[in-house]
Structure 1
Amino acid sequence: MSQGKRIFNFAITAILGGVAAILALPSVQTVSAAEKPTIKHVLLISVDGLHAVDLANYVKTHPDSTLAKLSDRGVTYTKAFASRPSDSFPGLLAIVTGGTPRSTGVYYDNSYDRKLSPPGSNCSTIGTEVVLDESIDINPDLLSGGGNPGFNASSIDPAKLPLDPSNGCQPVYPHSYLRVNTIFEVIKKAGGYTAWADKHPAYDLVNGPSGQGVDDLYTPEINNADSPTSKVAATEAYDDIKVTAILNQIDGKTATGAPATVPTIFGMNFQAVSVGEKLPTAGYTDAAATPSAELQDALEHTDASLGKMVAELKAQGLYKSTLIIISAKHGQSPIDPSKVNKPGSLLKLIPAIAPLVAKATEDDIALLWLTDQSKTSDVADALSANKAAGFIRKLYVGESLASLFDDPSTDSRTPDIIVQPIPGTIYTTSTKKIAEHGGFTLDDTNVALLVSNPRFEREKVRDVVTTTQIAPTILKALGLKPRALKAVRLEKTHVLPALELNDD
């Protein structure tokens, strides 16, 4: 046999052997079109403060819980990270816009804008703090916020809002402060019915720039005169009000019980876990995130509330067609109670910088807007020279800041300097908290993320993902285009991996 024939025969034998080996392998598991869930509804839940480790611990110790059962039919992302800063506003906006403050323009619920004017100023001065919390309610002592019929943007007092000199000195409502659209606007434009429930009327924010994104916005004021955040049990009772709203919506009613239709997208935030992490009588007992009795109660109450929602979805025949997403706007720091350090305001710790600061937002982070941006280097030098006194771990200024956000010299809302203190340090002066959020640390940002549907198989994804990926995932699940979100286009946000969705 010639050498050429021997080579040819050897090649054929190798190929056939390779084919045989491939055929002998176990078949690849695929999901048929009939087995894929047809998603018609999305129930979106933020359990504020819920860390990834909290979810893992709870599922392990409570195998018969709602969270465990949802995990059995869901994808759990163990390395999911919330927004930076990890405040409630940017945290929720990450989930419902697909963007960070770089595109949303919203850094905190208490921030600053160099182009807006103070409330009541008739635009005579430029540059103002922008505070979008219970302080803008008509009457924050009331659960309704004082509106008529209440529980929505009608409870906001326009006299308490910042003013826009470039728009006839008109009040800037939370929704118009947002620079990009939300999933609620996209879904509503496509013919869907939308709903959301949250803790202040200021969550008018989720309506998006149109001001019309949410058909049924339900925002009972959490900081009312009854002080629901003073005790975990009181916060649980407050959460129950919104749980009732969700149950109404599952039954084809509005949050308050009027006839409606089942929302295409709906959901709420739970507050009890966050309060349970903060109160001095509660919190965690060790660095492994073992919950105190009060925090444990908050977790169990929240789990039971989720169980009510699942049961009602099943009763209405909606469970299989509903994608359930459980995550958190933010975590909380520190988990380890031995790390708590409450030295007071950074401006008092380093008094030399105080006269140069127009606005300081302080929790377990400090966002600084300066009276004169030409003094940025001077302030940064003073902070660097007093790192020990200020318990400072890292400064974000200049290029390190611009790499994350828009340049403060060109964007009216970007802080001039962000100070990340040593983990465990809390600058806020409140004596009622042993934990806070807002910072960039692992405890602040590594949040729970579980996506569940009864047709899913249990899976854990250990790749790093962000909560910005929730928004495009929701749109894809509903058969809509993720790129309909402006922030998704700007930041090139991808859908979450490992999910079998409608158009896969």
Structure 2
Amino acid sequence: MSRSFPARLTALCAAFALSAAACASAAAALPSHAPVQHVLLVSVDGLHANDLARYVAAHPASALAQLAAQGIDYTNAHTVSPADSFPGLLALVTGGTPAATGVYYDDSYDRALAPPGSACRRTGARVRFDESLDKDDGHGHTVLDAAKLPRDPRHGCAPVYPHDYLRVNTAFEAVRDAGGYTAWTDKHPTYELIEGPSGHGVDDLFLPEIGGNYEGLNKGLSTPRGPTGGPERASAQTHEITGSLARTEAYDDTKARAVINEIDGRTHAGDAAAAVPNLFGLNLQSVNVAQKLYGYRDAEGALTPGLDDAIGHIDALLGSFVAELDRQHLRDDTLVIVTAKHGNGPIDPARLRKIDEARLVRAIDQAAPGQLAQLTTDHGALVWLRDARATERVAAALRARSDTLGIADVLSGEPLALRFPSPERDSRTPDLVIVSRDGVIYARPNDGKLAEHGGFHDDDTHVALLVASPKLAGAGRSVSWPVSTTQVAPTLLAALGLPPDALQAVRLEGTAVLPDLDWPAANAPARAAQAAQALHVAPAAPAAH
């Protein structure tokens, strides 16, 4: 899907056949003193900090190595937890944790919403924002089926789209509100979430479904070959694309072509002139799939051939972005950020242990019959109950079975409230959080995947974060002190000359810009504004939930 851009801009770029750089200049209404006029944000899902370090060391001529030489590598960056795609993406583009965004997972629960088709006669609804909501619009396009969406009794029982569910604004909205032009590409139609509460944060939105046969990617393909030449490994339960590294790489290529078109001053499809986005980017899935299909060699994270192949494929795509920016004379004016929504674990293949989530369900139901409202599992678990009074009873039962259920900790009550808003005050907070033991994935034993995300482990959260620009002073450095991926959002706004506290989550949680980004003296006004925002983030009252 896509959002139309201003007609006057279309006419200007097309009528005068402007170059990408000229069209970008004509469109940009952002501060002229900003360090850069464009930010390209790339989420390589699954990419750990260690993966980046190993790949760069082994491939010193790679695009990633060249970006590292022009940038700062934050080697101790962590995403939010639970480390799922939705909260991980929102960390990057809102500056907030789930406590601020209200989004804990792509499959969660809200006590204040009503189930689909219930006419709002009762409250308490599963909030499932994944490919299960897809439908064909009759014209060959995949859209969201409103009949499957939860309903909001407080707003006329209207369907709640993903962007409605987000409680704070996004960097895309902030850039667009400042007169800029935005674009984003991701893996499901439900990622219209990134539009933000306004529903209009992204001018050019492209969301090809990874769970489907998009644009014939699977047509005519024989059994894919793995990196060692043998038949490619597939998990027991897969989508057509994500069960194959080769097909996932082809899918990523489709999305990468959209970014190339945008750099060239076209819409993502390449069929009309547009501004080069001030803020744009995409999500890439090849590394995520390779980690699940091939895993790692050892506990130190040595790359298997399949995973090395996947990172190499991503590296080639990044190289094509940089080359196109150079060709369009936009490289010096573009900040490139390479990071990940989440990692995957366990890295150590010897630690992998799969426990069927049905065993969790039985333990909860035995402790509190009929009280389980929603259980979301992966590399950890979130539990919502129908009656909060059963919480401690369930927690005690889970702790008593910690060995057989692979549980390291159960958070509830005060320990949970130290991390998230109390479920007594927030309709979305889980009643319990299950932290699994290292290596434990809640999945069917015959599921072929070797890794998963969604938990609280370092393997889930310790991700790559590389910020690169030819304009950065003192580039080629590593920063080893802890930073959060939530700091990406205020940083990209500051790089575009905009106030980081234009983001509501930045104000709510006091999120600072990334440290050690030193722009040259020519950008002194923007640097001063950035420093002021980092030191004096305006406080804000918590949003009413």
Taking the aligned partners of 1:218 and 1:202, their CA distance within structure 2 comes to 11
Taking the aligned partners of 1:348 and 1:135, their CA distance within structure 2 comes to 22
Indicate conservation of the 8 Å contact 2:34/2:496, yes or no.
no
Taking the aligned partners of 1:54 and 1:340, their CA distance within structure 2 comes to 19
Look up the match of 1:451: 467
User: How does 1:214-229 map onto structure 2 within 5 Å?
Assistant: 214-225=202-213, 226=218, 227-229=240-242
Alignment RMSD, CA only? 1.4
Taking the aligned partners of 1:432 and 1:125, their CA distance within structure 2 comes to 39
Taking the aligned partners of 2:440 and 2:451, their CA distance within structure 1 comes to 9
Residue 252 of structure 2 aligns to which amino acid in structure 1? D
Shift of 1:455: 2.6
Indicate conservation of the 8 Å contact 1:111/1:131, yes or no.
yes
Which of 434, 456, 459 is the equivalent residue of 1:440?
456
**TM-score under structure 1 normalisation?**
0.89
Which of 451, 465, 468 is the equivalent residue of 2:486?
468
Residue 325 of structure 1 aligns to which amino acid in structure 2? I
Which of 485, 495, 512 is the equivalent residue of 1:477?
495
Look up the match of 1:362: 377
Look up the match of 2:284: 270
Look up the match of 1:317: 329
Look up the match of 1:290: 302
Shift of 1:149: 7.8
Q: 1:147 to 1:435 in 2, by over 3 A?
A: farther
Indicate conservation of the 8 Å contact 1:349/1:389, yes or no.
no
Which of 479, 498, 501 is the equivalent residue of 2:516?
498
Taking the aligned partners of 2:516 and 2:71, their CA distance within structure 1 comes to 10
Please give the secondary structure, in 1, of the residue aligned with 2:516.
Answer: coil
Look up the match of 1:241: 254
Shift of 1:352: 2.0
Please give the secondary structure, in 2, of the residue aligned with 1:228.
Answer: coil
User: How does 1:140-155 map onto structure 2 within 5 Å?
Assistant: 146=137, 150=141, 155=143
Indicate conservation of the 8 Å contact 2:34/2:495, yes or no.
no
Which of 379, 383, 388 is the equivalent residue of 2:403?
388
User: How does 1:94-173 map onto structure 2 within 5 Å?
Assistant: 94-139=91-136, 146=137, 150=141, 155-173=143-161
Please give the secondary structure, in 2, of the residue aligned with 1:419.
Answer: strand
Look up the match of 1:186: 174
Give CA deviations for 1:368-418 in whole Å, capped at 9, x if unaligned.
Answer: 001110111101111111111211101111111111111101100000000
Which of 407, 422, 426 is the equivalent residue of 1:407?
422
Matched, 1:425 2:413: no
Look up the match of 1:398: 413
Shift of 1:420: 0.5
Q: 1:362 to 1:69 in 2, by over 3 A?
A: same
Taking the aligned partners of 1:344 and 1:357, their CA distance within structure 2 comes to 17
Please give the secondary structure, in 1, of the residue aligned with 2:72.
Answer: strand
Taking the aligned partners of 1:241 and 1:91, their CA distance within structure 2 comes to 23
Look up the match of 2:77: 80
Matched, 1:330 2:345: no
Q: 1:115 to 1:272 in 2, by over 3 A?
A: same
Look up the match of 2:9: none
Indicate conservation of the 8 Å contact 1:52/1:79, yes or no.
yes
Taking the aligned partners of 1:76 and 1:494, their CA distance within structure 2 comes to 17
Shift of 1:367: 0.1
Indicate conservation of the 8 Å contact 1:37/1:455, yes or no.
no
Shift of 1:150: 3.9
Look up the match of 2:539: none
Specify the structure having the higher radius of gyration (Cα): 1
Taking the aligned partners of 1:343 and 1:368, their CA distance within structure 2 comes to 16
Q: 1:185 to 1:148 in 2, by over 3 A?
A: farther
Give CA deviations for 1:462-503 in whole Å, capped at 9, x if unaligned.
Answer: 110000000000000000000010000000000000002442
Task: Give unpaired runs (5+ residues) of structure 1.
Answer: 1-35, 140-145
Please give the secondary structure, in 1, of the residue aligned with 2:242.
Answer: helix
Look up the match of 1:305: 317
Compare 339-348 and 467-476 and name the one that shifted more.
Answer: 339-348
Residue 65 of structure 2 aligns to which amino acid in structure 1? A
Indicate conservation of the 8 Å contact 1:248/1:256, yes or no.
yes
Shift of 1:147: 7.3
Taking the aligned partners of 1:447 and 1:399, their CA distance within structure 2 comes to 29
Residue 191 of structure 1 aligns to which amino acid in structure 2? G
Indicate conservation of the 8 Å contact 1:114/1:412, yes or no.
yes
Residue 259 of structure 1 aligns to which amino acid in structure 2? A
Look up the match of 1:175: 163
Indicate conservation of the 8 Å contact 2:135/2:145, yes or no.
yes
Taking the aligned partners of 1:377 and 1:231, their CA distance within structure 2 comes to 43
Shift of 1:148: 5.5
Which of 188, 206, 217 is the equivalent residue of 2:194?
206
